Structure 1
């Protein structure tokens, strides 16, 4: 997990969303480090190794773009991002950002896009699981080979809700609602 250093100033804020509270963390340059659904309404002073200070003004662009997304007015985000990860993870996340709004791919299909280093569905699944920037790096758009909703750090109910917001009607709806 990333650890903050004495030199690294991290700010953030709690954001309201229709799917529950989220926490956005930014670095000194204002680039998004993390965007996570919180498991409850508590605002942790430390999150995934980052000690942060509240700065609502700095996080306002993230909040605005998320509000627009949830209102159906935004399909593409244009925020500076600075997720921490390996070179492979960065490549996988870059490809995730190229999956258009309202489109789903399977883990295997996304793996085939990582040319010249084609990779397995399992490796893509792991990179997705470690995606630190929910929604904006849209790992919710990646589904199982059979169309099922598999793995989402925010929970399968949220994954389904995000896909439905984007107009994706999935056969997995019944499985999640049971």
Structure 2
């Protein structure tokens, strides 16, 4: 059964959705994490059962991250979301260290899609269903400018500031 829970954050109320018993331990594997104002965030609750305790471990990690005490998440994601290309891009994004950034072009090179593939990489990053915990906010333009973010550029800027990744 698909469930959801909310977590208060400095960015507003986050909506976490997942599948119960999607793990061998019988817990809830995270399917999506939405930020306020994100396209589809309001619908994330539709047809799902509220399960406030389903993501308590993830909520604790998020609170620690937002307070500056956690730099690397340890979260089990539900399998199967995204195309093969999207999953390759998302894995490359997951490898960007806390407090660092990478350009869309650099991600394209890492997944073997340099050149014209930069646009496809941007599209794949834009479809990341796990904002914050899969750190697509760490991907910036080649010129250092902040470019699109499903949670909005102010949220991207705030997250990069929290991590100390913004150039002075």
TM range (shorter): 0.7 to 0.9
Contact 2:37 2:152 in 1 (8 A): no
Q: Offset at 1:170?
A: 3.0
1:54 is matched with 50
2:35 is equivalent to residue 37 of structure 1: yes
Number of corresponding residues: 157
Which structure 1 residue ranges, 5 or more long, are not aligned?
1-8, 172-178
Structure 1 residue aligned with 2:119:
122
Question: Following the alignment from structure 2 to structure 1, what is the Cα–Cα distance between the partners of residues 12 and 108?
Answer: 30
Shift of 1:14: 1.3
For residues 36 and 169 of structure 1, the distance between their equivalents in structure 2, rounded to whole angstroms, comes to 23
Q: Tell me if structure 1 keeps the 8 A contact 2:5–2:15.
A: yes
Q: Which residue of 2 aligns with 1:15?
A: 7
Structure 1 CA distance, aligned partners of 2:150 and 2:131?
A: 9
- What are the Cα deviations for residues 102-158 of structure 1, in whole angstroms up to 9, with x where unaligned? 0000000011111xx334211110011000000111000000011100000111000
- 5 Å-filtered alignment, 1:10-159, equals 10-28=2-20, 29=22, 30-39=28-37, 44=42, 46-47=43-44, 51-82=47-78, 84-114=81-111, 117-119=112-114, 120-159=117-156
TM-score scaled by structure 1?
0.82
Instruction: Return the alpha-carbon distance in structure 2 between the equivalents of residues 21 and 127 of structure 1.
Output: 24
Runs of 4+ in 1 over 6 A off after TM superposition: none
User: Secondary structure, in 3 states, of the residue corresponding to 2:54?
Assistant: helix
CA positional deviation for 1:39:
2.3
CA-based RMSD: 1.8
Q: Which runs of 5+ in 2 are unaligned?
A: 23-27
Alpha-carbon distance between aligned partners in 2 of 1:124 and 1:170, rounded to the nearest angstrom: 23
| Residue 170 in structure 1 maps to residue 167 in structure 2 | yes
Question: Per-residue displacement from partner, 1:54-94 (whole Å, max 9, x unpaired)?
Answer: 11111111111100000111111111012621111111111
Aligned equivalents of 1:156 and 1:118: distance in 2? 25
Report the secondary structure of 2:37's partner residue: coil
TM-score (norm 2): 0.87
